[in-house]
Amino acid sequence: MSLKTRMLGLLAGLGLALSGASAHADGDFLILDILPIHEGKTLDDARAYFDAVEPIFAEHGMVRSDAVLEVTGILRGPVEAEVVNLWETDNPQASFDGIFADARYLEHAANRDSIFRLRDATIIITRREEDEQ
């Protein structure tokens, strides 16, 4: 499975949680997770899914950086989304590999796919610059 495919599936799974923020991890990488949901699905569906999988992500070094950000408008660009999430990790590849190898996560894949429009997702991995002092 390619990294792009893994990221789409994983970050869709990470995606639309609407409960509170996780502890600030100060990871080297910040992942922007921009996802739309399928028509007929609700933010409550997404919240329930996320509540089930967030602890699995944390075990593999990926934690929420901030509260879930509800999209209230898109001023420019072809992006469709209801929610934006920010995730932190020190090693995206290790986090993705660990999560995708975790049978507990894979049990939630069908529910994830029923909620999120993965083909329309926008996911960006960024790296923080070290402060020069």
| pLDDT tens per residue, range 83-105 | 787 889 999 999 999 999 999 99
**Domains, the chain, ordered by start:** 3-127 (3.30.70.100)
- What integer pLDDT is reported at residue 49 of this predicted model? 84
| pLDDT tens per residue, range 9-27 | 544 544 433 333 334 446 7
Q: What pTM did the predictor assign?
A: 0.72
Residue 131 reports pLDDT greater than 70: no
Q: Three-class SS string for the chain? A: CCHHHHHHHHHHHHHCCCCCCCCCCCCCEEEEEEECECCCCCHHHHHHHHHHHHHHHHHCCCEECCCCEECCCCCCCCCCCCEEEEEEECCHHHHHHHHHCCHHHHCCHHHHHHHECHHHCEEEEEECCCCCC
- What integer pLDDT is reported at residue 20 of this predicted model? 33
